[in-house]
Chains A and B, each alone.
Chain A
Amino acid sequence: MAKASIDARGDLRLTRLTKTYGDFTAVDDLSLTIQKGSFFALLGPSGCGKTTTLRMIAGLEEPTAGSIHLGETDITTTKPYQRPINTVFQNYALFPHLTIFENIAFGLRRRGQKDVKEAVEKVLNLVELPHLAQRKPTQLSGGQQQRIALARAIVNRPALLLLDEPLGALDLKLRRQMQIELKWIQKEVGLTFVHVTHDQEEAMTMADTIAVMNEGQIEQMGSPADLYDNPETAYVANFLGQSNLIKGTISGNDGDSLVVDLYGQKISLPKSRSHAVDNSTYAGIRPEKFRISLLETPVRGNVLSGGRIEDVSYIGVSTQYQVEMPWGQELMVFEQNDDGVAPFNKGDAVNISWEPTFTFALRGDEDVTAGSEVQPEDLDEE
């Protein structure tokens, strides 16, 4: 009889967790608390250390340094099979020799649970595949296998459910659908979900809290809205959606606002959204926050004048403009097609305006391309 799994519950706490392989540091002094019952996403490009972090939580990799606590229990060196943690693997890792029923029952049987049949049937109903119980995994479609992998994990009611790029192998449409289902199931069963992904849209759709990882460390952590509206670094600003970053100088102070000089034009932004450390800064504005107007139209808020429309792409729900500014930079502007017509043409001379509260300010010594060269959609973990 295997040593029974420990019965720890509560928040997951990673303390100064480090994992090195030879000279390479995969996870670098990472500390993090994940609240019980939350849906937490570790987001980053491949090689950022998110999967290694997940594998250390699962017990499949041993940390080089640091500790892992579940509630008050130290599980740093606990064997995987003794941890009250289950994983939905990237390629599902269903047992090909067992039926779907036996796949799901696997964890329950190992722990000698009673009423296996009832529990398996219940979870099969939850993932809406009760008719597949007697099939083998290879007879199922990718989406069905994905749900069975999820069912096999949640049927054990773990203190923590780990999801390693669980939707990576599905096509886009199915992925969107599963995102909504996963979120719903998480609410339904009330377990703590830790989800690893490189897809920022996926993380934002599902997670309560997202930690953006870069080179083994957490770049920024917060709610999806926090991260999107108030990124602290260029990496986060570029990795989550797209950003226009304009070089500038902080030239003054106006109550709760800062005045920033962008190539001779003054704009303002809330102090609470400035992460600059000195006068030099990059002002950041999301493309959909901009409004374009012809020169004679009066505008409010922050205004940058002297723009010229370089490119117009109509993509249905919105129109995307490239606007060249007097200092040579091209800004991206997304305009909703509320009125059904694209009102600006290539070559139009325009002003760009936006609400000051939508502005964030980064440090002036940032690499403005950080996080933008990695196109999340193109990435695949090995």
Chain B
Amino acid sequence: MGKNRTPYLLLLPGFGFLFTFFILPIINLAQTSTQTKIAGGDTGQYEQTLHFRNYIDAFVENKDQFGRSFLFATISTLLALAIAYPLAYAIAFKSGKYKNLLLVLVVAPFFTSFLLRTIAWKQILGEEGFVVPTLRSLGIISQSTTLTSTSFAVVMGMTYNFLPFMTLPLFASIDRIDPRTLEASGDLYANGYTTFRKVTLPLSMPGVVAGTLLTFIPAAGDYVNASILGDPTTKMIGNVIESRFFKIVDYPTAAALSFTLMAAILILVTLYIRKAGTEELV
């Protein structure tokens, strides 16, 4: 008897928490998304009119920011993958006794605030930082080019901030690969490149999928990087939602945008997992 009830009792705190702080707010948000202004009412006064047009209006009005969000998120996810894969591989296979130290270093940035680190990037990419003068003297960028308040800075900031979320699942997955299977591949006439393509990469796919999702999903909804490192022309959908909620006090549009973003991410993620799950992405 007692045994049968235990799992439910264990579930109770989690379920209660999620119900109060996730399910209820989501329902509330869904209700808000179809409200309209009360005629003659004050700012921030809305009534439920099941006005589903809110969704279409919100999307049409902000489709550029939507597009930019997914574009930036995609680019920074790919960049993070390109940086994190060799890093995770080296930590898993080549670091010997330094493995744990290197893993600590990967998560070390979390010891300082996300905001601080992003503001630091503003300094790094600023006129007085070392990056801009170096690139200018090497002739890679022109004397008048600046890096702050650009899409470049936003994407770099996002790549940097989400890198650990990419690295850790990749490491976990690569670390589990039996190095003897790589030796076996070499033994069976596969050179280094073929071994990577046919053995290492497929075996690390769970890490690639987890890492890209953990990077892409928060990146698509991110607004901190765009607001600190960007300018009005680099606004992402997160910035729009933020300003609709807190500045313009247009709750219905903000709620509709939130749901649209959620739906778009869900669809993309589902398609991606289908693709990654049913065939090797190579």
Contacts and interface: CB of A to CB of B under 8 A. Distances in A.
A93 B194 contact: no
Interface of A is mostly: loop
Interface string A68-107: 0000000000011110011101110111110000000011
B202 interface: yes
A80 B194 contact: no
B190 interface: yes
A86 B184 CA distance: 9
Contacts of B190: 2, 81, 106, 110
B282 to A, nearest CB: 11
B202 A106 contact: no
B191 interface: yes
Given A2-B191, A5-B189, A96 B181 contact: yes
A10 to B, nearest CB: 20
A95 B187 contact: no
B70 to A, nearest CB: 30
B58 interface: no
B228 interface: no
B31 interface: no
B188 A106 contact: yes
B183 interface: yes
A95 B189 contact: no
A111 interface: yes
A81 B188 CA distance: 6
B189 A89 contact: no
A332 interface: no
A97 B198 CA distance: 10
Nearest to B280: A97
Which label, helix, strand, loop or mixed, suits the secondary structure of the B interface?
A: helix
Contacts of B186: 59-60, 79-81
A156 B188 CA distance: 8
A89 B180 CA distance: 8
Interface in B142-195: 178, 180-181, 183-191, 194
A121 to B, nearest CB: 18
Contacts of B181: 93-96
B180 A107 contact: no
Contact of A86 (B187, B199, B202): B187
Contacts of B178: 91, 93
B83 interface: no
A152 interface: yes
Given A91-B180, A93-B180, A96-B203, A152 B191 contact: no
Interface string A1-27: 011010000000000000000000000
Contacts of B188: 81, 86, 106-107, 110, 152, 156
B189 A2 contact: yes
A285 interface: no
A58 interface: yes
Given A89-B180, A89-B184, A97 B202 contact: yes
A106 B199 CA distance: 10
Interface in B184-228: 184-191, 194, 198-199, 202-203
Most buried by B among A2, A91, A106, A107: A106
B189 A110 contact: yes
Which of B181, B184, B188, B203 is packed against the most chain A CB atoms within 10 Å?
B188
A93 B198 CA distance: 14
Given A89-B183, A93-B184, A107-B189, 12 more contacts: A2-B189, A59-B187, A60-B186, A81-B187, A81-B188, A85-B187, A91-B180, A93-B183, A97-B202, A106-B185, A110-B188, A156-B189
Interface of B: 178, 180-181, 183-191, 194, 198-199, 202-203, 280
Ordered nearest first, which 5 A-B pairs have the shortest CB separation?
Answer: A107-B188, A110-B189, A93-B180, A93-B184, A80-B186
27 contacts: A59-B187, A60-B183, A60-B186, A60-B187, A80-B186, A81-B188, A81-B189, A85-B187, A86-B187, A89-B180, A89-B183, A91-B180, A93-B178, A93-B181, A93-B183, A93-B184, A94-B181, A95-B181, A95-B184, A95-B185, A96-B181, A97-B203, A106-B190, A110-B189, A110-B190, A111-B189, A156-B189
